[in-house]
Amino acid sequence: MKAATAKLTPPVGERDHVQGSERALVTLVEYGDYECPYCGEAYVVVKALQRHFKDKLRLVFRNFPLSEAHPHAAHAAQAAEAAAVQDKFWAMHDQLYENQQALEDEDLAQYAAALSLNIPLFNRQMTDHHVTARIREDFLSGVRSGVNGTPTFFINGVRYDGSYNLAEMIAAIDESA
């Protein structure tokens, strides 16, 4: 692993979207953009890391939509956060990454229906102040943490500056455990 360059600010807390045990040896935080092709590649690696480490790894996702480069990124983040209101954040997160080429508003509505969400509530939440504020909070925390592109990972609160290929990330996580 390369020298640490930045620390996670704020640390993982109750507001975060988390998969895995609080007692996991390693917490992996990803700042991601649902339209970013590199995040799409990293999504596959993160899924493999979760299978490899099982209960030793806790995953946290924070939104970092790069809207100027990716015109659908902000709406996709809003869809994930709107789904979170109905306890379906991770299902929508996966749906968005597995369908990165289809992120138009009609596509987002189809994903919400496929996840059996309450559609009127989902539609209201898409533009709700709490949803948009949450995305902005994630983005600003990324800026404070030294995130300048996606995907950016933090392992146990320290920015990981290596490659996001599976072997290198396994080695870095093993080193942090």
- What pLDDT is attached to residue 1? 44
- What pLDDT is attached to residue 6? 86
Q: Burial code of 140-151, b = ≥16 C-beta within 10 A, e = fewer?
A: ebbeebebeebb
Residue 5 resides in a domain? no
Residue 152 resides in a domain? yes
The average pLDDT across 18-28 equals: 96
Residue 123 resides in a domain? yes
Check which CATH number belongs to the domain holding 38 and give it: 3.40.30.10
Residue 117 resides in a domain? yes
Residue 2 resides in a domain? no
- What pLDDT is attached to residue 2? 45
Distance CA 77, CA 80 (A): 5
Kindly state the tokens that stand for 40: 């799409």
Q: Provide the number of structural domains found in the chain.
A: 1
Domain of residue 74 covers 17-176
Residue 140 resides in a domain? yes
The DSSP letter of residue 7 is B
Residue 146 resides in a domain? yes
How many C-alpha atoms does 134 have within 13 Å on its Cβ side? 24
Beta strand pairing call for 26-32 and 17-19: unpaired
pLDDT over threshold 60, residue 103: yes
Q: How confident is the model at residue 5 (pLDDT cuts 50, 70, 90)?
A: low
Q: What angle do CA 151, 52, 146 make, to 5 degrees?
A: 25
Distance CA 103, CA 100 (A): 6
Cis peptide, bond prior to residue 37, ω within 30 of zero: no
Distance CA 170, CA 66 (A): 27
Distance CA 57, CA 51 (A): 9
- What pLDDT is attached to residue 177? 84
The average pLDDT across 156-165 equals: 95
Residues listed for the chain: 177
* 38-96: pLDDT as tens digits: 999 999 999 999 999 999 999 999 999 999 999 999 999 999 999 999 999 999 999 99
